[in-house]
Chains A and B, each alone.
Chain A
Amino acid sequence: MRAPGGPEVAAGDVLLSVENVSLSFGGVKAVSDVSFDIRKGEIRAIIGPNGAGKTSMLNIINGFYHPQQGRITFQGKTRSKMRPHDAAHGGIARTFQNVALFRGMTALDNIMAGRTLKMNKNLFWQLLRYGPAMAEEVEHRHRVEEIIDFLKIQEIRRTPVGRLPYGLQKRVELGRALAMEPELLLLDEPMAGMNMEEKEDMSRFVLDVNDHYGTTIALIEHDMGVVMDLSDRVVVLDHGIKIADGTPDEVKKNKGVIDAYLGVAH
């Protein structure tokens, strides 16, 4: 894995840190004064009840939203504002809560689109499909086939993704993010709407990605069992405020977390 445009970060060091970030939409505070970090090579979970600001947090990291306050440091570079395609250049890939795929394109083309940034040969050669561009296309195709094998979606590679069942769409979306060879992979509810078996499959893929490619992963998930099994560390948000941060075991015992999830007796 190489880090485009950033210094190499060793495993266990802080890859991304969020400091005192606040975001509001008009009068609604989506995130207020939240700080946490993501270390290289770990699986970091962001959990919390509905409306806790989890997806907003992900959108901030990935540049879709610009926080009004606070700083974000990624690979040693600090910023308060960045556009989504800059984030992609920097090595941040993501999936979406409600699957955002290119519906009219095949699974293969969707994953190939993930390599957009890695293709840079002359447009003229691409037009002729000849020379260096052809070699480049073949090389990228090779990498994409590896990802397709890895995710076990060989038989659907020529199917327009709009026709695929939901579980497989989620897998194609993961494939597209992996094709970017990201430093940091953001997964927004990767198991939402899945049955038990699909959840287990997806959990295995997440672990394998982390193991096999060494990719740092930040994920949002509702299924507590999944979160506790998968993640190394967990940050808990409620009403836009961070209420806990630590290993799954620490978080599980935290009084504030239990109250947030089960409600407090008044």
Chain B
Amino acid sequence: MGILYNIFIDPFVQMGQAPDLFVQTLWEGLVGGMLYALIALGFVLIFKASGVFNFAQGIMVVFAALTLVGLHTAGVPAFLALGLTIAVMFALAWTIERVVLRPLVNQPDIILFMATFGITYFLIGFGEFVFGGDPKVMITEALYLPKGSITYKAFGGIVSLQRLDIVAVIVASIMVAVLAVFFSKTRIGRALRAVADSHSAALSVGISLEQIWVIVWFAAGLVALVTGIFWGARSDVSFALEVIALKALPVLILGGFTSIPGAIVGGLIIGIGEKLGEFYWGPLVGSGTDAWFAYVIALVFLLFRPQGLFGEKIIERV
């Protein structure tokens, strides 16, 4: 009975007793979740347009952040470095389309998936070669990102919000909103959905696959850059960051691989669930839950909605 009490009753009692801690945990989960959502968004964009699970999304985050920091260390002013990094991400998208995707048109998805492994290892090697393998510090000050925290007396205690986190949430929200409108309301968005449904039909109405692919990989690159800046500011910029891409998997399972809103809601659920789990249930198993809790949440969801929260219903006419 003691165990059941500890699992099902006690955490909620704690939440009720110290609402300030609860709100603080929720906030941190929200910030983490927003960043997960951004990474997942990068995956969704590419998956929608080409049906490929882009394993390289994680390393693209690291690569974008490294390029930004590397350029700045080399003496380029911060905002010029930001512009140049955007240009680099465009060049990367263009090159990937030319060198990797175009020769593999009409190949099975698994081949394209393996090709993204190749891109991953190329970027790791190339990144280490150019920028070195040691962890770097994100140039938050040069980019005028705020420091410190705001403290509120609320909920019978203290809630403190990092200024950087507030900016991260705002920027991520804007980014998500713009991308969502871009891909649902514009001609390019319609073309993107068309390409996702049928390559040959898209070609026949004059949609250029090459152009669409460059656009989505570039969009995914921009998302990676934003993620890299804010995630890099919370920890270091190093190749270890790459593993956060794996955190996007449960987010995608939750949200559905093809849904932009799904990526966001999924990210928030995973982020918040993870933090709450770690704080309230973690001590029961001696903590360390953040490594696996997200996958458990995703598994439970899979049992009830195999296509994800917002995934397209699978319609098959026989």
Contact = CB atoms under 8 A, between A and B. Distances in A.
Contacts of B317: 162-163
Nearest to B191: A116
Contact of A84 (B194, B197, B203): B203
Interface in B199-254: 200-208
Nearest to B190: A113
Interface residues of A, number: 32
B64 to A, nearest CB: 23
B315 A117 contact: no
Contact of A126 (B178, B185, B197, B315): B185
Q: Tell me which of B181, B208, B312 has the highest count of chain A C-beta atoms within 10 A of its own C-beta.
A: B208
A85 B203 contact: yes
Contacts, number: 89
Given A102-B193, A103-B315, A96 B207 contact: no
Given A101-B197, A103-B197, A114 B205 contact: yes
A162 B203 contact: no
B198 to A, nearest CB: 5
Given A85-B206, A180-B205, A116 B187 contact: yes
A89 interface: yes
Contacts of B186: 123, 126-127
Given A88-B206, A180-B206, A102 B200 contact: no
Given A96-B200, A101-B198, A180-B206, A162 B188 contact: no
- For this complex, into which size category does the number of interface residues on chain B fall? 20 to 34
B182 interface: yes
Contact of B185 (A84, A94, A129, A176): A129
Contacts of A112: 190
B202 to A, nearest CB: 8
Q: Tell me which of B197, B208, B312 has the highest count of chain A C-beta atoms within 10 A of its own C-beta.
A: B197
Contacts of A129: 185
Contacts of A102: 193-194, 197-198, 201-202
B186 to A, nearest CB: 4
Interface SS of chain B: helix
A100 interface: yes
A205 interface: no
A108 to B, nearest CB: 11
A129 B200 CA distance: 29
A160 interface: yes
B205 A88 contact: yes
Nearest to B208: A85
Interface string A90-128: 000110100011111100010011101101000100110
A100 B190 contact: no
Contacts of B194: 102, 105, 113, 116
A88 B204 contact: yes
A105 to B, nearest CB: 6
A100 B315 contact: no
Contacts of A123: 186-188
Given A64-B200, A126-B185, A105 B193 contact: yes
A123 B182 CA distance: 9
Contacts of B193: 102, 104-105, 109
A104 B190 CA distance: 11
Contacts of A101: 197-198, 201
A247 B134 CA distance: 77
13 contacts: A62-B204, A84-B203, A85-B207, A101-B197, A103-B315, A104-B193, A113-B194, A114-B205, A116-B187, A116-B190, A116-B205, A116-B207, A127-B181
Interface of A: 62, 64, 84-85, 88-89, 93-94, 96, 100-105, 109, 112-114, 116-117, 119, 123, 126-127, 129, 160, 162-163, 176-177, 180
